[in-house]
Structure 1
Amino acid sequence: MMSLLDAKYVQYENHFHNLLLEKEKQFPEQHSITAVTMSKKKAKITVVGDGFVGKTCLLVAYTRGEFPEEEYIPTVFENYAEEKEIDGEPYSLSLWDTAGQEDYERLRPLSYPNTTCFLLCYSINTRDSYDNIKTKWAPEVRHHMPHTPFILVGTKNDLREVDDPNLQLVSLKEGKKLARQIRAECYLECSAQRLTGLDEIIAEAVRASMKKRKKNTKQNPNCVLV
């Protein structure tokens, strides 16, 4: 017999599934095959990681070009549409933000389908968020999307310039080591507050998306990239 809690989750899942369908209509499915090459290639980049590591700030700062000053309110997922030129090619980007809190563990994966690259984020001043990449986030992404590439991202790297002996920061060396351990495409750092590293992260995510898509096309030569 279904408990009241399970019934509540089923209700939420149905509700958020319908919301996702509406969002996906605004941004067509990324892996579709067509005989006509579109003028703009598409990529869906989904950001995951513990709550309060700066995922939302990363995306908002990238899309707005300024650090968000409004109060942070956790949401199950939110997406941003962006038109960008990367390596001389025009792209339509769908950037998906997710909530890292445990309350959303059953709902969060609903936003994963069609993702072309994940950003696994931790804050360099929060050791737990770094440890959780290996124990939680990399396994979760691999479980739901085993063939999708991901990039490891260290946020708030402006703190490296703060002279405070109480700050126990995750080192750049540790970040690179973790990226190798979880087989990430690469390790990058950024500061949403200073607007540094953001363009490089999204560009690398797009490159990883296209690299994976080209590999899939070679395996299935009847496919046409869109």
Structure 2
Amino acid sequence: MQTIKCVVVGDGAVGKTCLLISYTTNKFPSEYVPTVFDNYAVTVMIGGEPYTLGLFDTAGQEDYDRLRPLSYPQTDVFLVCFSVVSPSSFENVKEKWVPEITHHCPKTPFLLVGTQIDLRDDPSTIEKLAKNKQKPITPETAEKLARDLKAVKYVECSALTQKGLKNVFDEAILAALEPPEPKKTRRQTTPVCCTSLCSSMLRGGGDSGYGGEGAQPGVNNTKRLSQHHEHLL
């Protein structure tokens, strides 16, 4: 069985652990959230072939700066997270996180992930930011940064409501299976790949939860994505 290693990085308290717990258990951790989430394996079926998606949480605090890179080798895709209601965490994407992962894994694709989008329209959160002359990060602003930093793309979600949650990991799988290739000359032909097929199957589940298997119009409905979760031994 092929394995896809996905490592999640970003400032502390931006919701990385909640993101993983909500995705793998289908529940938001309302009581206790560990500093570093246990590694999980998610089995994903793509076109009848099983893939194991290994999810690795990391601690964003400076205390772990020397230990964190130990989890980077053999990573297939990174999720670089920031909170859409934390401008400082957004700034650190450019100042800290992308430089760190590109230093250790220069050829590994990464997605820029905005978290806590349920707070973007929260009055108390907006008021708190306004006191510091700040505003929530807009999708347009984040998309521009993703382009500037050469991320595969920008995606955003809420671990609380699960809006966009499944899509984050669907896109991570696609990025790992079909990493961006360098631009080729006109004489070279582009090989046929499974991007569109995988994309159709992965997007069939929608955003309502991690395990949906809705059919995609125009796609053979026998080819769907399914998944279950296991602790890594």
TM-score by structure 1 length? 0.72
Match of 1:172 in 2: 139
User: Is the aligned partner of 1:91 residue 2:51?
Assistant: yes
Whole-Å separation in 1 of the counterparts to 2:97 and 2:38: 18
Unaligned runs of 5+ in 2: 130-134, 183-233
Please tell me whether the aligned partners of residues 51 and 100 of structure 1 are also in contact (alpha carbons under 8 angstroms).
yes
Match of 1:116 in 2: 76
Unaligned runs of 5+ in 1: 1-39, 216-226
Whole-Å separation in 1 of the counterparts to 2:120 and 2:147: 22
Amino acid in the other structure paired with 1:211: E
Whole-Å separation in 1 of the counterparts to 2:71 and 2:38: 9
Match of 2:105 in 1: 145
Q: CA RMSD in A?
A: 2.0
SS at match of 2:178: helix
Q: 1:62 aligns with which of 23, 46, 55?
A: 23
Whole-Å separation in 2 of the counterparts to 1:175 and 1:86: 30
Closer/same/farther in 2, CA of residues 89 and 155 from structure 1, 3 Å limit: farther
User: Is the aligned partner of 1:129 residue 2:89?
Assistant: yes
Whole-Å separation in 2 of the counterparts to 1:43 and 1:106: 24
Please tell me whether the aligned partners of residues 79 and 111 of structure 2 are also in contact (alpha carbons under 8 angstroms).
yes
Match of 2:33 in 1: 72
Whole-Å separation in 2 of the counterparts to 1:100 and 1:200: 23
Amino acid in the other structure paired with 2:24: T
Whole-Å separation in 2 of the counterparts to 1:93 and 1:154: 21
Please tell me whether the aligned partners of residues 86 and 203 of structure 1 are also in contact (alpha carbons under 8 angstroms).
no
SS at match of 1:98: coil
SS at match of 2:43: strand
TM-superposed deviation, 1:85: 3.1
Whole-Å separation in 1 of the counterparts to 2:157 and 2:28: 12
TM-superposed deviation, 1:69: 1.7
Whole-Å separation in 1 of the counterparts to 2:112 and 2:61: 19
SS at match of 1:204: helix
Whole-Å separation in 2 of the counterparts to 1:140 and 1:81: 25
Whole-Å separation in 2 of the counterparts to 1:189 and 1:73: 22
SS at match of 2:113: strand
Please tell me whether the aligned partners of residues 78 and 98 of structure 1 are also in contact (alpha carbons under 8 angstroms).
no
TM-superposed deviation, 1:89: 4.7
TM-superposed deviation, 1:87: 6.5
User: Is the aligned partner of 1:161 residue 2:116?
Assistant: no
Closer/same/farther in 2, CA of residues 177 and 96 from structure 1, 3 Å limit: same
Whole-Å separation in 1 of the counterparts to 2:47 and 2:26: 20
TM-score by structure 2 length? 0.70
The structure in which a higher percent of residues are helix is: 1
Match of 1:106 in 2: 66
Whole-Å separation in 2 of the counterparts to 1:91 and 1:192: 24
Closer/same/farther in 2, CA of residues 108 and 42 from structure 1, 3 Å limit: same
Map 1:22-61 to 2 at 5 A.
40-61=1-22
Whole-Å separation in 2 of the counterparts to 1:191 and 1:88: 30
